[in-house]
A and B are shown apart, each in its own frame.
Chain A
Amino acid sequence: MNLGSLLTSSLSDTLQVSLPLFRPELCLAATVVLLLVCRMLPVVRWLDSAWIALGGAVFAAAYAWADLRGLPGSPWLPAATALNRHELFTGLLVFDPFTAYIRLLLAGFLLLYIPFTKISGIPGREEETDFHVLLLGAVLGMCLMASANHMLTVFMAVEMASVPSYALAGFLKGRKASSEAALKYAVYGAGAAGIMLYGISLLVGVLGSFHLPTMAARLSTVLAAGSTGGVTTALVLGGLMLAVGLAFKLSAVPFHFWCPDVFEGAAAEVGAFLSVASKAAAVALAVRLGCTLTAPPLADPAQLAGLADARFYGAHLVGLLAALSCTLGNLAAYGQTNIKRMLAYSTIAHAGYLMMGVAAAIALGGTDRAASRDAVAAVAFYLGAYLFMNLAAFAIVALLRNTLRSEEIAAYGGLIQSSPGVVVAMGLVLVSLIGLPPLAGFTAKFLVFASVAQAIALGVEKPLMIVLLAVGGLNTVFSLVYYLRVLGVMIFNPPPADRVNEPLPLVSLPGAFVTGLVAPVVVLGVFFAGLYACAQFAGGFAS
């Protein structure tokens, strides 16, 4: 094969296969450039950069939607005959239903998030170009996290998502808390990235490949060949260090220290971004790494059997982190007086519930592909519901901050009298976060618990799964107290004496926006079939 033919084949692969399936990311990248160009040209400088960013997000979402719809076997098309899996850019990325689903989720998040920041007034007029550039740059990295198929892309995508987030955390310049938050986030992030990189190099060094499916195949061979002590130690350590990097992104206990401080210091808008988009991408990456490395797509039974130890290890590692995050997140949320800090601990706890689903998906991967698919589907559905719940919670916090001038829970006293609509909205969101029917949070939690219970019924990692189910159930009960306390303050307490009573009616732009965010929380609780069908389709990426 000579150079010419190599070039031609590479060119055609890139242009005809990879780039068309990479359109949402290309839209985001182009929007970043467009934002900067518009800022420099005097003719279009008057143009509000939020609209440009929103336009880019619309295109990205439209392409992501078309990609998801167009895949064979999607809820709109007849079932696929072969596995939906296209490797892009010579194996660096993978395009499959899961990629498409998460990408749609992230683009949809942008569609809701940009109007939200426009309404809540952060960023201001002078700094919004910077804000949107950072935002789109981070989301671009998150899209890559969801579709990574190569350790190089994994690391790069994590960095691409993190570094702009550090700057976003410090976006409120001039506020000490914000700068501190950014610094803390950046330092912890750099440490975690270093550890993760070392873990990757250990794994790659032992397995001799960067390509995830190839790594899984070699892992199977290495494990099946019997234990030579050193190799196992290196693999275990590599996996552990890789998990540390992921746990940092997920803000899982014990790598969660940055989370409450960053959420408290940064603006509520940034908190919404970190808790929804960043978490979704991190969970997606955890699913991708966990499932691909322990039960790769199209693996033959011998290979799957060889990976049994890897699944055991992965499920226990993720399960342990899940149980810890859930419990500590919920317990620590009790004492909080600042609503953003409380929500930070709540996101830690929710990361725990999500990881329970991931642990079940990993554990089931070798025994029952359909059950594993359902577990991934539960996680994907949870992410969809969580998008609306948490974005709505932070939106209400941000809008209340604009009228109340405070982010303390105590300042919410007696809101039921001045703005009953917002209290009802917040109530729905909080109850959904607890996970009570008939709201979206319940359906999501039910699905995750169901997949853990299915693992028990199938006898897969039974002790771990029983513990997870019990921990998850008890934590749901724990979480009740602190969520309801916020609601109780809003309804039962008298308003603070120094309240400047500016009601936040639902019949206003912010009110309508909140209503628009809360409506899906209610609707998805009852009519969950559509989203679940998509999630199930996404979950079937490996089978």
Chain B
Amino acid sequence: MLGVFMGLDFFLFYVFWEVMLLPMYFLIGIWGGSRREYAAIKFFLYTLLGSVLMLIAILMLYFTSDLRALSEGQLVASHVVSPGLDAAARTAAVEAIRSASAPVHTFNLLALAEIGQLPDSPFAVARVWGWSLETLAFLLLLIGFVIKVPVVPVHTWLPDAHVEAPTPISMILAGVLLKLGGYGILRICYPICPGGGIALAWLVCGLGVVSMVYGAFAALAQKDFKRMVAYSSVSHMGYVMLGLGVWSAVAGTQYAWDAWAQGVNGAMFQMLAHGISSAGMFFMVGVLYDRVHHRNLEEFGGIFGRMPVYAGLAVTIFFAGLGLPGLCGFIGEVLVTLSSWKYSQTLAVISAFTVILTAAYILWAIQRVYLGAEYKGPHGDHLTPITRRELAIAVPLVILAIVFGVAPQTIFRTVTPTVNKQVKTLAEWTRVVHDARPANRGAIPAPALSGGSAGRFPADGVASTGVTP
């Protein structure tokens, strides 16, 4: 997993991405519940389908890429030519690339991004069945990533995998694995295929909102405690998608990139927050399951009386998942909802209303499990207070949930510079490159183009704009 987050080479990224699958299969398949094999293979199948589509996109991008189109500065910046070389060696290396007779293909993610944002990007020029390559590649990569996220049409592996997996594996799945999808979309889809990103922004946002609403309704309907938490994951990750997708820096908004940056920052935050709250919720379910060996929501009740410390921690975590102000779930959701207003007011309204649904299923679950007169289900005598070992896991999660909720700057301090830089670059790209293309000029009334040259934005390290709630 670390390899996926660190890989800057597309091929290596793919290898790590796949290597992650097999251990997960065995973790679920060996230590899972009664239908573990089914769940494990379903998880594997879905993700492999996604990664094969991704592989196809990678290959198509690789063979269309051409390093010769890049300037010396870009080659050095993307580490195709090592910046460690002295000037003469560097010039020679650049010259060797630029004077090659055949196209020089690359897997380097940074270089691919530079190529993708060129005015005459080969990805935008190449056509496959009438689609531009960047739109198609964006779509394929998007499918590969959203299966991991997961969003609604391809989410069905998630409840099965979560329900069958043992608690620690559920926590890993919710805490880390799902974030790979969001990371991939942000890191790979948008920079390399920005044209596809603009063309398909409606799809990304739409998927986000659909899974938000669907996940919430599905969570409402669940009888199984863990399944409910799993569907809440689907719903929460919908916010991430919406936040990533709001490409609002278009001509109509004078290329104001702050709203979009706000959305992306919110999505990043939501991913982290969800990693804490969702992992915590799974852990809380696991604690109960260890004692009474069932997860039927109807048969709980009165846990507050039997295990007061545990119930207090659990309710805090569930509130964090709900998005109560002051806890970590709130920040991401509010940023995303606010930012989507600029993109589409309908979507913003829907996503705001989803919060009510979220509150409904979480509060209802809390009421059924923790409140109530007394415990009704089997194995009631096993409901012993929380152990020290379990506390050692639960307390840090709760503390993090509160800390991130009260002082979100701890995260934004690291996240925002990178995000803002990318968003700004892409917003600038929209103005200078995308809207200048003849194919797009007719569709959107072009504003004054005289303001900027084709140069890059100066690097901006300060993180302040539009992200403080």
Contacts and interface: CB of A to CB of B under 8 A. Distances in A.
Interface of A: 370, 431, 436-438, 442, 446, 449-450, 452-454, 456-458, 462, 466, 469-470, 473-474, 476-477, 480-481, 484-485, 488, 491-492
Interface in B113-148: 126, 128-129
Given A437-B19, A484-B25, A453 B56 contact: yes
Interface residues of B, number: 30
Q: Which 4 A-B pairs rank lowest in CB-CB distance, beginning with the nearest?
A: A457-B63, A453-B59, A473-B52, A437-B15
Interface of B is mostly: helix
B393 interface: no
A458 B64 CA distance: 8
A492 B41 contact: no
Interface in B1-53: 14-15, 18-19, 21-22, 25-26, 29-30, 36-37, 41, 44-45, 48-49, 52-53
B238 to A, nearest CB: 25
A450 B59 contact: yes
Interface in B49-108: 49, 52-53, 55-56, 59-60, 62-64, 102
A466 B136 CA distance: 12
27 contacts: A436-B21, A436-B22, A436-B48, A437-B14, A437-B18, A446-B55, A449-B56, A450-B59, A450-B63, A454-B59, A456-B128, A457-B64, A457-B126, A458-B63, A469-B56, A473-B52, A473-B56, A474-B49, A476-B48, A477-B45, A477-B49, A480-B41, A484-B41, A484-B44, A488-B29, A492-B29, A492-B36
Interface of B: 14-15, 18-19, 21-22, 25-26, 29-30, 36-37, 41, 44-45, 48-49, 52-53, 55-56, 59-60, 62-64, 102, 126, 128-129
Contacts of A438: 15, 19
Contacts, number: 76
Contacts of A473: 52-53, 55-56
B62 A453 contact: yes
A477 B29 CA distance: 18
A492 B44 contact: no
B405 to A, nearest CB: 39
Contacts of A436: 18-19, 21-22, 48
A438 B18 CA distance: 8
A106 B30 CA distance: 40
A370 B36 CA distance: 48
A453 B63 contact: yes
A450 B63 CA distance: 8
Contact of A477 (B15, B18, B52): B52
Most chain B Cβ neighbours within 10 Å, of A370, A457, A462, A477: A457
Contacts of A469: 56, 59
A456 B49 CA distance: 21
A449 B22 contact: no
Contacts of B41: 480-481, 484-485, 488
Given A449-B56, A449-B59, A480 B19 contact: no
Contact of A370 (B22, B25, B102): B102
A431 B22 CA distance: 9
Contacts of B44: 480, 484
A431 B55 CA distance: 17
Nearest to B32: A492
A484 B48 CA distance: 13
A472 to B, nearest CB: 9
Nearest to B42: A481
Contacts of A466: 128-129
Contact of A470 (B19, B29, B56, B126): B56
B147 to A, nearest CB: 11
A69 B88 CA distance: 37
